Amino acid sequence: MTESQIMRHFAFLSVSLMALAACDPVAILRGTDAVDEPEISCLTQPGCYFDQAPVRVVPREVIIPRRPYKFFPTAQPLTFSDSRGRTWVAPAGTLTDGASIPRIFVSIVGDPTSPEFISAAAVHDAYCGIGNEEAPNFQKARWEHVHIMFYDGLIEGGTNEFVAKLMFAAVWLGGPRWAYSDQDMVVSTQGQREAYPIGGGGSYVRRLDHVPVGELQNAMRSTKRYIETSRPTLPQLLAFLRMQEDILLERFPVSPHEPYPEVREEPYKEEPYEPEYPEEPYEPEVTEPEVTEPEVTEPVVTEPDVTEPVSPGPDGPGTPTIGVETLAVPG
């Protein structure tokens, strides 16, 4: 074997190993520092609590188009303190359906409505839920931090660790993402990202809403198997999710000069809530009033009461005056 053949052989082996690693993110995780990073969450840290829990809602149903669950406004503010001492507030009137799970993952995650989910879902909805776009706290924090807060809230609400991590993975892969920074807001589809834990600085958004639904569901199924078999810590799970993002964006890159790749299924997107109105404004039907000719009747001539004095008419005394009201004049 010549030297050039040997070099080509090793190059082929390197590419093959990289491809296998992309198919098996767990293999990559075993060689990263994320495995040894301790979990900081309400599972390991004291001091997490909800104020005014469980959340109370106003018994006034709100229908949001294309949403499978009913929404209700919260009756009073709900405050949550997370594992890092940060306070999150869902103001009174926050619309919540008690779920927060993207509907494309319901068949994988299971029923997203349960009493132990509702408080975490209400606070999560206050920061990124549909119908709350005009609320004071909407997207007033980094999307990564909001989703991690949701995980903390699930744990504090009584959700077991496996389900909490499964639901967290669902909102991470399929939930809303937005750019947020106290300075400059930077949006990227494939670029840098901030590492966990929670910190300051800019927020880089690697959007996944162009990825076909079936591919996102496959990524969620892989994540579910990883949680079931490896029982990862939160940092390990975050590293796994980011590797799933790398794989998806490598297969479905987005360039400002390229159209979205053709997909077989309609991609799911979080759409801002807009109330539906009729196509044309309602105008009451105006009808012209019916005009009728006044009925002409002949005047009725009555003989005057002989006991009353009669005013002389134009034809002489004793002739009644026709069509004029007769008044009795005292003598």
Instruction: For residues 10 and 8, give the distance between their C-alpha atoms in angstroms, rounded to a whole number.
Output: 6
Q: Which among 196, 103, 112 is positioned nearest to 154, based on CA atoms?
A: 112
Long-range contacts of 229-233 (CB under 8 A, 24+ apart): 230/26, 231/162, 232/165, 233/37, 233/38, 233/39
pLDDT in tens, 224-260: 999 999 999 999 999 999 999 999 999 999 754 444 3
Q: Can you give the pLDDT at residue 195?
A: 37
Return the structure tokens found at 86: 């940060």
Q: Can you give the pLDDT at residue 292?
A: 57
Q: Which of 18-27, 44-53, 319-328 has the highest mean pLDDT?
A: 44-53
Q: Can you give the pLDDT at residue 228?
A: 97
| Residue 47: pLDDT band with limits 50, 70, 90 | very high
**Exposed (0-12), middle (13-18) or buried (19+): which is 285, by Cβ within 10 Å?**
exposed
Q: Can you give the pLDDT at residue 323?
A: 41
Q: Can you give the pLDDT at residue 175?
A: 94
| Domain positions in the chain | 38-251
Local structure of residue 114 (DSSP, 8 states): -
By residue count, the chain amounts to 331
Chain-wide mean pLDDT for the chain? 73
Residues facing 50 on adjacent strands: 80
Instruction: For residues 224 and 326, give the distance between their C-alpha atoms in angstroms, rounded to a whole number.
Output: 102
Instruction: For residues 255 and 273, give the distance between their C-alpha atoms in angstroms, rounded to a whole number.
Output: 27
Mean pLDDT of 5-23: 44
Q: Which among 204, 210, 202 is positioned nearest to 255, based on CA atoms?
A: 210
Mean pLDDT of 205-224: 93
Q: Can you give the pLDDT at residue 53?
A: 85
Return the structure tokens found at 309: 């004095």
Q: Can you give the pLDDT at residue 238?
A: 96
Q: Can you give the pLDDT at residue 295?
A: 61
Q: Can you give the pLDDT at residue 293?
A: 62
